[in-house]
Amino acid sequence: MTSGSTPPVATKGRILSGIQPTGNLHLGNYLGAIRNWVALQNDFECLFCIVDLHAITVWQEPAALTHATREVAAGMIAAGIDPVANALFVQSHVPAHAQLAWVFNCVARLGWLNRMTQFKDKAGKDREKASAGLYVYPNLMAADILVYKATHVPVGEDQKQHLELARDIAQKFNSDYGVEVFPQPEPVIRGPGMRVMSLRDGSKKMSKSDPSDFSRINMTDDADAIAGKVRKATTDPHPLPDSVAGLEGRAEAANLLNIYAALTDQTLEQVVTEQAGQQFSGFKAKLTDTAVAVLGPINAEMKRLMNDPAEIDKVLARGAAKANAIAEPVLAEVYRTVGFLSR
C-alpha cells in the first residue's frame, strides 16, 4: 500500500454520534449537527449511526421510517460525510447496540432514569401511556457510545444529560465488576450560535416535528422553496440594528442574522456590522442567495442518491460491517465480564 492510500489516522480519539431517522432533515440539523460532524472527521475516527431503534420509542409509520433512514444517510453523504473513511450505518444493523443496552438496563438505576428531563418532556402529561422504550432510551444511547468505547461524543445542549448518564453507567459497570472495560466518553461541545430557530417564531427551535413546513428550511427544499420560505419568514418593522445588543427582543431578526452568519462562516458581530441599517427585504434576498448556494449542491446530491436506493443500502451495509467488527469484540468482553457462559 502506498502512503497515499493509507487511511487517515485518528489523532485524537474515536467519535460516535447518532441521528434519528424521523424525516424532514432541516437547516438546524445541518448547521447544528451534520456540518460539525463533517469537520470532525478529519481529526477523529468517526462512527455515524442512524438510530432507528431510538426512533421507534415513539410511533413511526413503517414505510416512512424506511424512507427517512435512507434520506438521512443521503443527507449526510451529500453534506460531506465520507462513508469510506468513516462508518455510516444503521443502528438495527449492529445487534450489539440492543444487546449491550439490555446489560445497561440492569446497570442503570431507576432513580437515574427518573431524573431524565427529555423523558418527562416527550412522555407529556400521560406518562402511563409512554412506551417502556422511551423510558430506557438513555440506556440504549449509552450502549451506542460504549459499544465502540468511543472517547468523544458531539452533543447538543439537549443531549448533555444523556451523555452524563452514559458516563455514570460506564463507571458503575467498571466498578461493579472491578474492571476497566469502558472509558469515560467526553462531550464535544459545538461552537456558539448554532441553535437555529423556527422561521415563523423566533422563540421556538427549528424542528422536524413543527406542523408548519414554513417554519423550517428542509435539506430537500429546492431554490424556489427556500426563496418562498425566507420571503415569508416572520420579521419586525424595523431596519437591522448596528450592534448585537440591538437584537435584544428581536428574536426573528437575530435568528435570520445567525443563520446568515453560520452559512457564510462569519461571526454574528461581523454580520451585524455588515448589514447595519438594511431593510429586511434586501437582507432576505441576500440570505436566500446564500442559503441556495450552500444547500443547492447538497440538495442536488441528495436527490441523486435517493434515486439510487440500492447504492445507499450498499454504503450502509459497508458501514455496518465496519461497526460490527468493532462492536462484537466489545460485547464479547462485556459478556465475559458479566459471567455469561461462553458459546
| Catalytic positions | 122, 205, 208
> Cβ 163 to ligand AMP, closest distance in Å?
12
Residue 219's binding partner among ligand TRP, ligand AMP, none (Cβ under 5 to 8 angstroms by kind) is none
Query: Is there binding between residue 20 and ligand TRP (CB under 6 A)?
Result: yes
Say which amino acid occupies 55. Answer: A
| x/- track of binding to ligand TRP for residues 131-170 (CB under 6 A) | ----------x--xx-------x-x---x--x--------
Q: What are phi and psi for residue 15, nearest 5 degrees?
A: -105, 135
CB of 144 to ligand AMP, least distance (A): 13
In the 3-class helix/strand/coil scheme, how is the chain assigned residue by residue? CCHHHCCCCCCCCEEEEEECCCCCCEHHHHHHHHHHHHHHCCCCEEEEEECHHHHCCCCCCHHHHHHHHHHHHHHHHHHCCCCCCCEEEEHHHCCHHHHHHHHHHCCCCHHHHHCCHHHHHHHCCCHHHCCHHHHHHHHHHHHHHHCCCCCEEEECHHHHHHHHHHHHHHHHHHHHHCCCCCCCCEEEECCCCCCCECCCCCCCECCCCCCCHHHCCECCCCHHHHHHHHHHCCCCCCCCCCCHHHHCCCHHHHHHHHHHHHHCCCCHHHHHHHHCCCCHHHHHHHHHHHHHHHHHHHHHHHHHHHCCHHHHHHHHHHHHHHHHHHHHHHHHHHHHHHCCCCC
254 binds ligand AMP (CB under 6 A): no
Please give the residues from 25 up to 84 whose contact with ligand AMP meets the rule CB under 6 A: 28-29, 32-33
Stretch binding ligand TRP (CB under 6 A), from 11-19, 56-64, 109-117, 210-218: 11-19
**Can residue 206 be called a binding residue for ligand AMP (CB under 6 A)?**
yes
Binding-site size, ligand TRP (CB under 6 A):
13
Q: Which residue is nearest to ligand TRP (CB)?
A: 18
Stretch 138-167 residues interacting with ligand AMP (CB under 6 A): 156, 158
CB of 320 to ligand TRP, least distance (A): 16
Minimum distance between the CB of residue 20 and ligand AMP, rounded to whole angstroms? Answer: 4
Region 195-234 residues binding ligand TRP, contact defined as CB under 6 A: none
Kindly tell me which residue out of 17, 60, 215, 218 binds ligand TRP, with binding defined by CB under 6 A.
17
Q: Interface residues with ligand AMP (CB under 6 A)? A: 19-20, 28-29, 32-33, 156, 158, 194-196, 205-206, 208
What is the contact surface with ligand TRP in residues (CB under 6 A)?
16-18, 20, 51, 54, 141, 144-145, 153, 155, 159, 162
